[in-house]
Chains A and B, each alone.
Chain A
Amino acid sequence: MAKTNKSIIVNGEHHEVSAESSEPLLWVLRDRLGLTGTKYGCGEGACGTCTVLIDGKAERSCLVAFEDLEARHAIVTIEGLVQDGELSPVQHAFVEHNAFACGYCTSGMIMQATDLLTINKTPSRSEIIEAMNDNLCRCATYPSIITAIESVVKENGSKSEDQS
């Protein structure tokens, strides 16, 4: 089977990539672009460790085939969240609240939470749980992750109050 060549945008940079058309984005990122922050956990969309943003929306990169990517898609991985040397608010909150143990699920958790907080700046606790529910953490750091996300929500809430 011939490989497909195409240009994709990852973390704001164009990359010329050659890969099997069925190859999941997860492995393109990890092995062809060296972006290993995105992790393999199950390969079937059931754990969330491979979550990235595609056009701002959280997607399981293990389920997105290379052939389905288009040049216009903006892909963001955990490595792309740092802007001008600054952690994103979600990354910062995960540090502040020690929201991890082994850390293997953390990239996926942060990407999923980033998606949630982009759509809804001040989700309730139950909205957080609903949005995060398909991301698994075997170390079961769920309570700290909720606290971390809630701290960003609080920050967002006070910002919007300031603006009003």
Chain B
Amino acid sequence: MKRRDFLRLIGSSTMAFAVTSCSDRKANPLFGKTGQELEFVDFEILCRSINPIRNFSELVLFKDTKRVEVYTGRSELGQGLTTVLVSIVSQAFEIEPNQVDVFLADTNLCPDDGPTSGSSTTRDIAWGIWGACLEIKDDIIAEGAKLLGVDLTEVRFSQGTVFVEKGTKSRISMFEMSRDGITFTNPNTTPQRVQMYRDAGLKSVRALDVVTGKLKYAGDIMAGTCRYGGFFTPPEFRTGYKFQPVDLRATLAVPGVITAGNMGQRGPYVVAETFPALQEGLAMIDRKSMVPKKNELVKNLSQVREHAILRKTVEDTGNVEQHLKSCRHTLSETYTTHHYNVAFLEPQTSVAIVSDDEAHVWDSTQHAHRQQQVVARYTRIPVERVHITGTNVGGGFGGKIGHKSGAEAAVIAQATGLPIKRMYSRAEVFQRLSRAKEEVAVDLISGVDDSGKIIARSANIYQDEGNGLTEIYDIPNSRIRLFQVSQKNMGIRHATIRGTSFTQDVFAMESHMSSLAHSISMDPLEFRLKNALWHQDLLHTAAEMIGYGAYQPPEDHGLGMAIINHGGQQLGALFVEVGVDRKTGRITIQRMRAAFDVGIVMCETTATIGVIGALIWGLSITMKEELKFDESRILTNSFAGYDIARFSDIPDMQVKFIKTFGDGLSPRGCGEMPLPLIAPAVANAVYNAVGVRLFSTPFTAERVLAAIRTQAT
């Protein structure tokens, strides 16, 4: 559909799309002089020249309320989408931020803009909105000149108003034009420059609601007026699980339990007056008749390789075998990783009201339109009669895209006629999402010549999801293959957590790079600079930030580094300093210094908080988190047994955004990319500190101590 057709369809007087701004240039004193080297460009000219209309889904429309409304199907996860959109629109039209209303993730109001994931929302949606605003502004100026009876060259636009430059003081505001019902049809007017960028994006527009507890999450909808509903969640993996109807008398006897029933293959459900009563009711369900099939778990690496089938060849250049044979230096290594949980603080939550042929679900979701399909499937209500209202999301990280709380709330509401709140307990978050990140094994063989140039490399990656890696080194003979280990054999299903498997791949690849450098007695920085395709500037910047070369770490301290390319869009380099306690194996990360190229940074405060958060996430999963399983059960079911990063774990951190490639003009996203850098950078720093190579995550004190002891013997 053409944009203008879409506009006519929704009956708005005007609309448009596309891009960005960089409203916040202030450095956060905590993180050092961030953004110092970013070039600030004229975004207006940029987006007019590049691609003013990238996406037809988002919409800006003026109403006679002197307000601008913005609609997108994406969700606010705390990444600052609302703030960025308000910032952009208020800057584009030079109006007050409080004149902008943002509507997100509502299937009745917003178009389907795809899932809020992959660090793509700023890149795709905000970019689109900005261009739209500019295009509308052109229309406004042209229309304003016409209404004022003057030539286009005689008017200027300022603060939402078209002025006649000289002589008369005539003016007309864009809102007045809108009220007159004028449709703007000509986007090809002369560009007018927006002179001023404001700081609307500096502070979150949601801030007041957040700090006063007013911001509504799904669990806050209809507090006290709906009932809590839930399905029995077996502690076993659900693969092959068959539910038999169970006796629910004990459950029904729990005070506060209103009703309970068996729902075929969905299993038993319970409805209660309160959340604690629901948990108690679910706990009373007798599981004796519900023993799941045992999973055939793959227990060791040779089994992984044996079960694996080739899924995809990501890269295949030159002749790897032949050159590996002829290289003077080759190194063969295998790296493995562990399981962790998404562990957002807000469990998946949904509230559903269902009548005969209609459902309304408030959902903590990263993709409202997908939830609409799922609810329709579960309830057999036509999809157009399912209304999903996406609420604020208390952390998503990929775990709130395909979740079932909305559909489960809806089917229980349908079965009971009651408004139902389905809020996962913390244990359910672990049980239902701990089939999450897979164990990945990566076999690597590389060959290097005497000068330190990598001649050939083979990488076999065993993982069930993801697209592997984008090559970041200049290797003439390179092969990267992805092997699938069937879910049945792994016994653990997979879901996305903050990036799709490349976290594990980067650990292997970047650890291997430093290992390779050491194997030929070359400095790992020099080795990377020699072989990297694009990361030289980032490496130099981050190396300087940490004082690489000039700074001599004390005994048992070391420096390590890693680089990353996330989808060819986002580049990063990280240096860390660690201290290792040889007696206990405990690693302490002292400093982190990172440089990123993420294209234009639209709101530096939000972007900095995002990348710092991702680095800490990386620290958390690398150093602390590990899910435990036995043959059939997930044993880690609470925060008490699963420690995530906390205040005392935070090292001294500084980040910088710089421009290293491309036009550097478009936003490319930044939320996922920093995370995978931690594991290899820390492993490389540990090697630098105590000469021990860590081949498996997480880097618990026991594992490090074992490696130190093995080395000593």
Which A residues have a C-beta under 8 Å from some C-beta of B?
Answer: 1, 20, 22-24, 27, 30-32, 34-44, 46-47, 49, 77-79, 81-82, 87, 91-92, 94-96, 98, 100-107, 110, 128-130, 132-147
Contact of B2 with A by CB under 8 A: no
The contact string, 1 if C-beta is below 8 Å from chain A, for chain B 317-360, is: 00000000000000000000000000111110000000000000
Are B650 and A143 in contact (CB-based, < 8 A)?
Answer: yes
Q: What distance in Å separates the Cβ of A68 from its nearest Cβ neighbour in chain B? A: 15
Which B residues have a C-beta under 8 Å from some C-beta of A?
Answer: 28-31, 77-80, 203-204, 206-208, 210-217, 219-220, 223-224, 255-256, 274-277, 279, 343-347, 392-397, 423, 425-426, 605-606, 609-610, 612-617, 620, 638-640, 644-648, 650, 653
Are B255 and A44 in contact (CB-based, < 8 A)?
Answer: no
User: Which one, A40, A49, A130, A137, contacts B423 given CB within 8 A?
Assistant: A40
Give Cα A143–Cα B217 distance, bound, in whole angstroms: 24
Most buried by B among A101, A107, A128: A101
Give Cα A27–Cα B277 distance, bound, in whole angstroms: 11
Are A107 and B213 in contact (CB-based, < 8 A)?
Answer: yes
Which chain A residues lie closer than 8 Å to B29 at the CB level? 147
Are A95 and B644 in contact (CB-based, < 8 A)?
Answer: no
Which chain A residues lie closer than 8 Å to B224 at the CB level? 30-32, 34
Most buried by A among B203, B210, B223, B274: B210
Which chain B residues lie closer than 8 Å to A36 at the CB level? 213, 216, 219-220, 223
Contact of A39 with B645 at beta-carbon distance under 8 Å, contacts A20-B277, A34-B224, A102-B346 already known: no
Q: What distance in Å separates the Cβ of B271 from its nearest Cβ neighbour in chain A? A: 14
User: Which one, B208, B423, B650, contacts A95 given CB within 8 A?
Assistant: B208
Are B395 and A139 in contact (CB-based, < 8 A)?
Answer: yes
Are B78 and A98 in contact (CB-based, < 8 A)?
Answer: no
Which chain A residues lie closer than 8 Å to B640 at the CB level? 44, 46
Are A143 and B653 in contact (CB-based, < 8 A)?
Answer: yes
Which chain A residues lie closer than 8 Å to B425 at the CB level? 43
Which chain B residues lie closer than 8 Å to A128 at the CB level? 647
Some 15 contacts from A to B, beta carbons below 8 A apart, are A23-B274, A31-B275, A78-B211, A78-B213, A79-B214, A94-B207, A95-B204, A100-B207, A102-B345, A103-B210, A103-B394, A133-B647, A138-B397, A144-B30, A147-B30
Closest 4 CB pairs of A and B: A37-B213, A102-B78, A104-B394, A140-B616
User: Which one, A30, A105, A130, A132, contacts B345 given CB within 8 A?
Assistant: A105
Q: Which residue of A lies closest to B393 (CB)?
A: A102
Q: Which residue of B lies closest to A49 (CB)?
A: B345
Are A31 and B213 in contact (CB-based, < 8 A)?
Answer: no
Contact of A20 with B203 at beta-carbon distance under 8 Å, contacts A42-B426, A78-B213, A143-B30 already known: no
Are B394 and A102 in contact (CB-based, < 8 A)?
Answer: yes
Give Cα A146–Cα B347 distance, bound, in whole angstroms: 25
Q: What distance in Å separates the Cβ of B494 from its nearest Cβ neighbour in chain A? A: 20
Are B609 and A47 in contact (CB-based, < 8 A)?
Answer: no
Q: Which residue of A lies closest to B638 (CB)?
A: A44
Q: What distance in Å separates the Cβ of B17 from its nearest Cβ neighbour in chain A? A: 26
Are B426 and A141 in contact (CB-based, < 8 A)?
Answer: no
Which chain A residues lie closer than 8 Å to B343 at the CB level? 138
User: Which one, B207, B212, B617, contacts A78 given CB within 8 A?
Assistant: B212
Give Cα A30–Cα B79 distance, bound, in whole angstroms: 26
Interface contacts beyond A27-B275, A143-B30, A145-B647: sample of 14 additional A-B pairs, CB < 8 Å, sorted by A: A20-B276, A30-B220, A36-B220, A41-B345, A42-B639, A44-B640, A98-B606, A101-B609, A102-B393, A104-B346, A128-B647, A132-B647, A140-B645, A146-B647
Q: What distance in Å separates the Cβ of B431 from its nearest Cβ neighbour in chain A? A: 14
Most buried by B among A37, A103, A137: A103
Contact of A143 with B345 at beta-carbon distance under 8 Å, contacts A46-B640, A103-B392 already known: no
Are B211 and A47 in contact (CB-based, < 8 A)?
Answer: no
Q: Which residue of B lies closest to A137 (CB)?
A: B345
Q: What distance in Å separates the Cβ of B603 from its nearest Cβ neighbour in chain A? A: 10
Contact of A104 with B345 at beta-carbon distance under 8 Å, contacts A37-B213, A98-B203 already known: yes
Give Cα A134–Cα B262 distance, bound, in whole angstroms: 39
Q: What distance in Å separates the Cβ of A8 from its nearest Cβ neighbour in chain B? A: 16
Are A23 and B223 in contact (CB-based, < 8 A)?
Answer: no
Most buried by B among A32, A107, A142: A142
User: Which one, B80, B426, B614, B615, contacts A44 given CB within 8 A?
Assistant: B426
Give Cα A135–Cα B645 distance, bound, in whole angstroms: 10
Give Cα A106–Cα B210 distance, bound, in whole angstroms: 7
User: Which one, A1, A39, A144, contacts B219 given CB within 8 A?
Assistant: A39
Which chain A residues lie closer than 8 Å to B78 at the CB level? 100-104, 139
Q: Which residue of B lies closest to A92 (CB)?
A: B211
Give Cα A140–Cα B644 distance, bound, in whole angstroms: 10
Q: What distance in Å separates the Cβ of B541 from its nearest Cβ neighbour in chain A? A: 20
Are B648 and A31 in contact (CB-based, < 8 A)?
Answer: no
User: Which one, A24, A94, A98, A104, contacts B609 given CB within 8 A?
Assistant: A98
User: Which one, B79, B208, B213, B393, contacts A79 given CB within 8 A?
Assistant: B213
Contact of A139 with B212 at beta-carbon distance under 8 Å, contacts A44-B639, A100-B204, A147-B30 already known: no
Contact of A41 with B217 at beta-carbon distance under 8 Å, contacts A79-B212, A95-B203, A104-B346 already known: no
Are A101 and B274 in contact (CB-based, < 8 A)?
Answer: no
Give Cα A40–Cα B219 distance, bound, in whole angstroms: 9
Which chain B residues lie closer than 8 Å to A34 at the CB level? 223-224
